[in-house]
Amino acid sequence: MDRTERIIKYIEDELTFVERSKFEEELKNSFELKKEFEKYVQLKNDTITLKGVKLDKNYLDSIIPEFRKRLQSSKSRGIKFSLGYAFGIMLAFILSIAVVNYYLSSKSESTDLPEFAESLSDSQRMELLESLETELNSTELFSGNVSVNEIDRLINAELEISSEVLESYDIAYDDLIVGLEQDEVNKIYNEILSRNF
């Protein structure tokens, strides 16, 4: 144990009885040790003196009222936060429903031949087929690997046209696409190909 450690332990009353007696003996005989010891004692006494320092009464009396004000404002902040949070959740929910609705409705606008065919009544189908008998312009869009007859056969299958109707009307792809916009024609053609190839 070095000198400083013994001094501090002596001041803090952490030495054993034997160590304490030995230290006190050394203190009597060593001027250096005594000088050093007194510096530590001075420091200890200064801290003890300052332990009793009191705060101004006016300041002390102001602490609780300020605390109560802060408590009140933190409560109202809490309510505002909760309301804001609830509003945000609601807004996010409404927006997500709107997005999902938009997505679903735009999807349903895509061309779906079987659905289209099913949506027609028998009289509408007959009307459609009759109109296709007239001489109209056609657009050639055939893939090099798919024959005209094949496309026609697929059209008939997609539209679920019965054999009786087929006998009466010669349904061809060219006829069906007459009168449609180019974009619509492309859609139908690609739809047929993707379904079947």
Q: Which residues bind another protein (CB under 8 A)?
A: 4-5, 8, 12, 39-40, 42-44, 46-57, 59-60, 63-64, 66-67, 70-71, 74
Structure tokens at 109: 């606008």
CB of 45 to another protein, least distance (A): 11
Closest contact distance (angstroms) between CB of 88 and another protein is: 24
Question: In a 10 Å sphere around its CB, with 0-12 CB exposed, 13-18 middle and 19+ buried, how is residue 177 labelled?
Answer: buried
Minimum separation from the CB atom of position 5 to another protein (A): 6
Contact criterion met (CB below 8 Å) for 12 and 45? no
* Axis crossing angle, helix 182-196 with helix 148-159, rounded to the nearest 10: 90
CB of 51 to another protein, least distance (A): 6
- Nearer to another protein by Cβ, of 52 and 144: the residue is 52
For residue 52, the minimal CB distance to another protein (Å) is 8
- The nearer residue to another protein, 55 or 104, going by C-beta atoms, is 55
The values of phi and psi at residue 137, to 5°, are -75, 150
DSSP 78-111: HHHHHHHHHHHHHHHHHHHHHHHHHHHHHHHTS-
Cβ of 179: how many Cβ atoms within 10 Å? 13
> Given the complex with another protein, which of 2 and 167 has the nearer CB atom?
2
Please write down the long-range contacts of 93-98, taking CB distance under 8 Å and 24 or more positions apart: none
**Rounded-to-integer distance, Cα 11 and Cα 40, Å:** 8
| 31 vs 59, beta carbon nearer another protein | 59
- Select 61 or 140, whichever has its Cβ closest to another protein: 61
